[in-house]
Structure 1
Amino acid sequence: MKKNMGTLDKGIRLAIAFVIVILDINNVVTGTLGDILLIVAVLLVITTFLGFCPLYLPFGWNTNKQKEE
């Protein structure tokens, strides 16, 4: 699994996940929408720590500027 996410991409994903969790904690989003957004937040955090986004593969995107050896 080749890393395809850069530092800025990871930061944006963590920020979005953080906002979703805060909105859920404060009951701004509730019910099914809240549950779906929490699942999205978890997926964003997982892909951030893996450094790999499977949705980038079909498009050939790569925001990782570091070269792997």
Structure 2
Amino acid sequence: MKANMGIIDRGIRIFCTMLIVGAYYNKEISGITAIVLLVISAIFFITSYISYCPFYRIFGISTRKNED
């Protein structure tokens, strides 16, 4: 699995994850909306952590500056 996410892309995803988790923690979102957004934030966090997004591979996108 070759990394295809750049540092800015990863940072944006982590920031979005923190916003969603914060909104859930402060009870600004609830119900089905909260569940869907928490699943999305979990996916964002995991893909940021491993620097690999399967959708980027499908569409041939890479946000990394240094292609090995």
TM tier relative to shorter chain: over 0.9
More helix by percentage: 2
Using the aligned pairs only, state the percent identity. 35
- d(CA) in 2 for partners of 1:4, 1:67: 8
Q: Which residue pairs with 2:53 in the alignment?
A: 53
For residue 57 of structure 1, give the secondary structure of its aligned residue in structure 2: helix
Q: Distance in 2 between matches of 1:66 and 1:56?
A: 16
Which deviations, in whole Å up to 9, do the C-alpha atoms of 1:11-58 show, x marking residues without a partner? Answer: 000000000000101111100110111111111000001000001112
Q: Residue 14 of structure 2 corresponds to which residue in structure 1?
A: 14
Report the 3-state secondary structure (helix = DSSP H, G, I; strand = E; otherwise coil) of the residue aligned with 1:58.
Answer: helix
- Give aligned pairs, total: 68
The amino acid across from 2:57 in the alignment is L
- 5+ residue gaps, structure 2: none
In structure 2, do the counterparts of structure 1 residues 36 and 10 end up closer, same or farther at CA, with 3 Å as the change threshold?
A: same
Q: CA RMSD in A?
A: 0.8
TM-score by structure 1 length?
Answer: 0.93
* 1:31 matched to 2:31: yes
